[in-house]
Every structure is written in structure tokens, then in C-alpha cells.
Structure 1
Amino acid sequence: MPKLVNHEERRRQLAEAAWRIIRREGMEGVSVRSVAQEAGMSLGSLRHYFDTQSELLAFSMKMVSDQVNARMEALEFTDHPVEDIERFIGELMPLDDERHTEAEVWLAFSVKAVTVPELQKLQEEVHSALYEGFTKAIYYLAARGMLKEGVDQRAEAMKLHALVDGLVLHHTTRPEQVSREDIAGLVSSHVRSLLQ
């Protein structure tokens, strides 16, 4: 009887192999051959799942986004809106090893997406979804009457998005200068500075 293969699990294994290579060697180390070798699979087998390197990268990039989204959707809101917002934003930040890996991989993909059209659409979708999430976070506080009078909600959503992106970049590239505690504290301080 032929062995049953879970194709979705195989695709995930290949994406995770690509992540390991990216963390070890950078994006330039990723090729269909290197990913097949890292995953312990033949090149022919890999091509059964992904025809091109761009297709493999797009799937790997989407997998990062999907993991973060799944964690965010699993969050339960409480009677403490500020803490809820901080936990929500925390899922985007490299506050543990899993999220640090995601941040490293996502940053490498983002740079690659500048020159690879197949990745640009996904990067734009994720960027837009993040901006929408930050906008909802600010509106969530506003709807509860918690923001200072005169706060420009749209501008604050943009600032929060830029702050988080910048902190993720700084911590991921220079963790010895910007710690996990620093990034969590700066986000909390910023959010609380908007409150009455």
C-alpha cells in the first residue's frame, strides 16, 4: 500500500527549511536546491510542491503572516482595553524566540519583495492589514472615550505602525542595543501617552 503523504505538512516543512536557511545565511542562501537539501528531500520532490523559488518564498512569507494572524485571532478581549491593545501589538513583535524568528524571516522577505513582483502583492496585503489593525486599535480606544481630546486617530495609527515596524527592525538587527523589554515598554509608553 502506498505511503500517504500530507501535502500541506510537506509544504510547511519546506517553508520552515527556507526560514532556517534565511536565518543562517540570509535570503541569498535560499534556492530550490538548498531548501530541498535542508528539508532532506530531493529536488524533484520539492518541485512537486513548488515550481519556482518565488512560489516557495511567497508560500513561506504567507506562512509567517498566517501564524501571526492565528495568534492574534485567538486573543480574547477583556475589560482592560489598554492591556488588550498591548497584547495585540505584542503578537507582532519579537518578544520570544518564535516571534523573533518570524521577524527575521519577514524582514528578509520584505527586502526581497522590493525586487520580486511575485512577492510584492503579498507584502502590500500584509502591510495594509497591519495598518488596518493599528487603525482599529486606536479606534477601539476612542470608542471607549479613552483618548485625549484632539487626538488625530488616523495620524496616531500611522505613528503606531511606524513605531512597531521600527522597533521590530531595531531589535531584530541590534538586539544587544534594543532589548525585548525595551520594545514592549516603548509600545506601552506610547499607547498610554495617548490616553486621557
Structure 2
Amino acid sequence: MAPRSLRVGRDLTAEERRTAVLRAAVECVAVTGYDNLRLRDVARAAGVSTGLLQHYFETRDELVAEAFRQASEDLLQEWSVLLASNPPPWERLDALVSQLALRDGLRTHCMVWVEFATASARIASMREGFRAIYDKWYALVRETVEDGTNAGIFTPVTSVPDVVELLLNHIDGCELNIASDPEGMTGVRMRELTLRLAATLLQYDGYEVADAAGSGPREVARSAP
């Protein structure tokens, strides 16, 4: 991986430098995996010394946990901006799914999520951070489903918590598929399947599926009989 400079016309603050290091670590995890990650590779990718890296992070586990937190917080911030206008529940759900599935660097995101989940299963100190991020994602989807249900837009076929868990488990499966098989699942297909599943579980009787470029409607799906 080519080194990147952290100077962009001025000296970065300590917090900006730390954030840039974390984002470089995310890229390294996607390339090498957690088990093969070396601090010197992250330092080279970030354009800093290994000594500076160790000044910020005492262990590799701490670096990886913080890198994943940073990547997740970046995504949550994108969602926060996206939802600032408080769109209707279905449009909000579509926006959440589309922002994830149609994002640039989707496979990198998926690979990092899988690596972090695997590491968290083995390393107790990383589980709290993994759970915290997952809970934030769960809360966003649950609030959307509850708002639509309370407004009479959705009629869930089972309890709201069950619907949310089914949707998130489906998304996790798509991300695993994308991470392990770059020629298989695509972001466009992930979005379409997720919205079809949501429409069925919520008995929402119509939604437009974007075309392969994500630029326009292709068909209208109806809830399953």
C-alpha cells in the first residue's frame, strides 16, 4: 500500500492526525486481515512513524478496535446528515440501506466488519466496542420501523424487534457474501433484496427499485401474498 502524507497544506492537529491513522488502519485491515496486521504497515500507509503510532495506541487490539469505531462513526455521521430532513419511514429505511449498500468502498467496509466481528468473538476487550456500534445501527432501524408502524404505514407480520433482527441478520449475510466473494453479491443486489424483504416483513405494498446504476426506478414490488 502506498504511503500517504498527513500534511495537507498545514500541520494537522493531534486529533486530525489520529483520525487519519485510524482510517489508514481500516484500509490495512481490509487488505491483510486482523491476524496479519502489522503496526509498521499501518504507519507506512498513514505516512507516520511506528513510534508515533505506538504513542497513540498501546496494542494492536486497541488500534483495530478504535479503527473500526472510527469507520462506524463515519458511517453513522453520513446517516445523520442523510436523515436530517426527517424523511417518511419508508424513504428513511431506503436511505439507510442505500447509503450502506451503494457506498464507495463497500467491499472494504464489509471486509473490515467481518474481521472486527471475528476478532471480537475471540478477544473480550473488543466486544464492548463491537456491541456499541451494532446497538447504534439497531436503534436507527428500529426507530424507523416503529415510526412507520405507529403511523399505520407498516403492518409488521411479527414483532418490531423480530423484524429488525431479521433485517439486520440479512444485511450481515449480504456483507459476508460481499467480503468473501467479490464476484457474487453486489451492492445494488444487496439493496434490492433488503428492500424486498423489508416490504414483505412490514406489509408495505409498494416501493420502487432503482436500476443497476441506482439512478431511476426499474420496477414496483408488491408485498408477498
- Fold conserved (TM > 0.5)? yes
1:47-81 Cα shifts (integer Å, max 9, x gaps): 22212212211210110110111011112333x43
For residue 86 of structure 2, the aligned residue among 77, 81, 87 is 77
Q: What TM-score results when the alignment is normalised by the length of structure 1? A: 0.87
How do 1:103-114 and structure 2 match up within 5 A? 103-114=110-121
Structure 2 regions of 5+ residues with no counterpart? 1-9, 206-225
The alpha-carbon distance between structure 1 residues 97 and 149, as it changes in their structure 2 partners (threshold 3 A), is: closer
Structure 1 partner of 2:53: 46
- Post-superposition offset of 1:150: 5.3
Higher relative contact order (CA 8 A, sep 6+): 1
After the TM superposition, which of the residue ranges 106-115 and 167-176 deviates more from structure 2? Answer: 167-176
Alignment check: 8 A CA contact 1:23 1:101 kept: yes
Q: How many angstroms apart in 2 are the aligned matches of 1:145 and 1:182? A: 28
1:123-174 Cα shifts (integer Å, max 9, x gaps): 0111222222222121121011022375422211111111111112212322
Alignment check: 8 A CA contact 1:82 1:191 kept: no
Q: How many angstroms apart in 2 are the aligned matches of 1:149 and 1:155? A: 9
- Post-superposition offset of 1:99: 3.8
1:61-111 Cα shifts (integer Å, max 9, x gaps): 110110111011112333x43122111233333x23234322221221111
Q: How many angstroms apart in 2 are the aligned matches of 1:101 and 1:175? A: 11
Q: What TM-score results when the alignment is normalised by the length of structure 2? A: 0.76
For residue 72 of structure 2, the aligned residue among 65, 87, 95 is 65
Alignment check: 8 A CA contact 1:171 1:183 kept: no
How do 1:22-33 and structure 2 match up within 5 A? 22-33=29-40
Structure 2 partner of 1:102: 109
> In structure 2, the residue corresponding to 1:30 is in which secondary structure?
coil
The alpha-carbon distance between structure 1 residues 42 and 136, as it changes in their structure 2 partners (threshold 3 A), is: same
Q: How many angstroms apart in 2 are the aligned matches of 1:87 and 1:14? A: 29
Residues matched between the structures, number? 192
Q: How many angstroms apart in 2 are the aligned matches of 1:58 and 1:152? A: 33
1:16 partnered with 2:31: no
Structure 1 regions of 5+ residues with no counterpart? none
1:6-64 Cα shifts (integer Å, max 9, x gaps): 11121122212222222222222312232223323222222222122122112101101
- Post-superposition offset of 1:5: 4.5
Q: How many angstroms apart in 2 are the aligned matches of 1:27 and 1:147? A: 41
Q: How many angstroms apart in 2 are the aligned matches of 1:117 and 1:61? A: 15
What stretches of structure 1 move > 4 A for 4+ residues in a row? none
Q: How many angstroms apart in 2 are the aligned matches of 1:85 and 1:149? A: 14
Alignment check: 8 A CA contact 1:21 1:29 kept: no
Relative to its length, the structure with more helix (as a share) is: 1
Amino acid in the other structure paired with 2:187: R
Q: How many angstroms apart in 2 are the aligned matches of 1:13 and 1:147? A: 41
1:6 partnered with 2:13: yes
